[in-house]
Amino acid sequence: MAEAVGKKTFVVTRFDPDRDEVPRQQAYEIPVQADWKVLDALNFIKDEVDASLSHRWSCRMAVCGSCGMMVNGEPRLSCKDPLSDYGDTVEIAPLANFPVIRDLVIEFEGFMEKLKSVKPWIIRAKELAAEDGPVNQKPSELEEFKQFSMCINCMLCYSACPVVANEPEFIGPAAIALGHRYSLDSRDEGAAERNEIFRGEGTVFSCSYANECSEVCPKNVDPAAAVNQAKFNAVIDWMTGLVIKRGGQG
């Protein structure tokens, strides 16, 4: 084990639903190592100082999206966030804009409902049988949506979005980026269905383009681009629908 290079104080937001009326803060001063991420410090606290601290984590390589939290007020993936970027005191809180189950563990059932609402799967007008063979896709077609398929559902974008904070019905950046990703997929035939969803209440037109979602995205998905491209597509689709009847009847 590497030598500790110094000490830092972590001010962690705690909440025990059985004991606390509202969240409170608790400070821990611990030895830290030069190559630690924020998650390493939390795991040290959990293992060596206070076993009652609750936080989510899994892969430790910015793939699973479990360890999102507010670090000094910014939504960050704690496994990717070098501790050396911070001073002697680091404030850690659960993701903003989410109900909190315990300490740094947020409730994400609402997020899962929003994801599902955009039909994030390939929709075909007629399902193909296995013997029909694969539906091929060119690299250039993959390139059109690949960026939006890199989302790891870490929910940092929801935590940064001012619209999410104030409009509970807003389905939010990751869900819209996911729906848009499928609408751009050359194998998908459900763009019209999703455009109809996107023209509804609390969807793309609730976005006021703060761009915060893209600023905090750890995978450079650029959800703000997806949301605003989806606005464009929803309008074009609506205008096209005025002159061309759905189903190919002019």
Interface residue list for other proteins (CB under 8 A): 15, 17, 20, 22-23, 25, 70, 73-75, 93, 96-102, 106-111, 113, 144, 158-160, 162, 164-168, 184, 208-212, 215, 222, 224-225, 228-229, 231-233, 236
Q: Which is nearer to other proteins, 14 or 44 (CB)?
A: 14
Q: Which is nearer to other proteins, 41 or 212 (CB)?
A: 212
* Shortest Å, Cβ 208 to other proteins: 7
* Shortest Å, Cβ 133 to other proteins: 26
* Shortest Å, Cβ 34 to other proteins: 27
* Shortest Å, Cβ 7 to other proteins: 24
Q: How far apart are CA 243 and CA 5, in angstroms?
A: 69
Nearest CA to 167 out of 205, 217, 211 is that of 205
* Shortest Å, Cβ 144 to other proteins: 5
Strands 100-102 and 68-71: unpaired
Residues contacting 213, CB < 8 A, separation 6+: 157, 158, 160, 161, 173, 174, 223, 224, 227
Q: Which is nearer to other proteins, 45 or 106 (CB)?
A: 106
Q: How far apart are CA 229 and CA 191, in angstroms?
A: 13
Residue type, 25: Q
Cβ atoms of 229 and 198 closer than 8 Å: no
Q: Which is nearer to other proteins, 17 or 133 (CB)?
A: 17
Strand ranges across the sheet with 24-32: 24-32, 6-14, 89-93, 68-71, 74-77
Q: Which is nearer to other proteins, 36 or 67 (CB)?
A: 67
